[in-house]
Amino acid sequence: MNKINHALIMAAGRGTRMAPLTNTIPKPMAPLWGSTLIANGIKKLVPHVPNLHITVGYKGAELAKHVIELGVDSVFNTEGKGNSWWIFNTLMASLNEPVLVLTSDNVTDLTIDLILEEYIRLGSPACMVVPVLPVNGLVGDFIHHQENCVIKLDRNDPAESYCSGIQILNPYKINQMMSPLEDFGEVWENLIEKNELYCSSIFPDKWFTVDTVEQLAQMNSQQS
């Protein structure tokens, strides 16, 4: 039976748009529903994915302690590095299998088995981004594609959907296709040139991303 064995949550960002809250705590530890933003994501993944990894940067020691207590399997210190650095420079680089990748500010519900089925249906490419319908007030890279093969990602050229921050990728395949890069934008552009970046036809059941204190307050006013 096909299964996602590894998931990684990217949680290294500074979260400047959430200051002054993030002057004292890392953004992933922002309070949400009586817990924290990242604890919400971990709680949803732990029952379904046996190996969970986190990248940390800003206030990394504090965040690492928090997520280890929540049961994650490994923590990668990426302070001062780009958001795709871990693909090329950690033990993840040798993983020749699909890895579910999320960002710590995703508040989402998704059916992992359906997302994996879609990835396999599309031929198990080097990377498959999971799209969402545009949400008023939230920015993202619009996805332009032909039969799910991405031909352009553009923040300023509207399309029917845009990137959610959720993706499935194969680190080993990516390492075979390019030299190390530190920015996901560059990784995606490289994969577009090789026809190895796809977008899913399956959307998350629910999705929101928390970028500001106001958006955090909005989420906290809703039921989990």
Burial grade of 137 (CB within 10 A; 0-12, 13-18, 19 or more)? exposed
Pair of tokens at residue 120: 């396999």
Distance between CA atoms of residues 148 and 201, nearest Å: 7
- Per-residue pLDDT in tens (0 to 9) along the chain, 224 residues: 589 999 999 999 888 888 888 889 999 999 999 999 999 999 999 999 999 999 999 999 999 999 999 999 999 999 999 999 999 999 999 999 999 999 998 889 999 999 999 999 999 999 999 999 988 877 789 999 999 999 999 999 999 999 999 999 999 999 999 999 999 999 999 999 999 999 999 999 988 888 888 888 888 988 66
* Domain spans of the chain, in order of start: 6-222
Helix (H) and strand (E) counts for the chain?
7, 13
Degrees, nearest 5: CA angle 138-103-133:
35
Q: What is the DSSP letter of 29?
A: G
With residue 172 as reference, give the H or E element that holds it: helix 171-177
Q: What is the pTM of this model?
A: 0.95
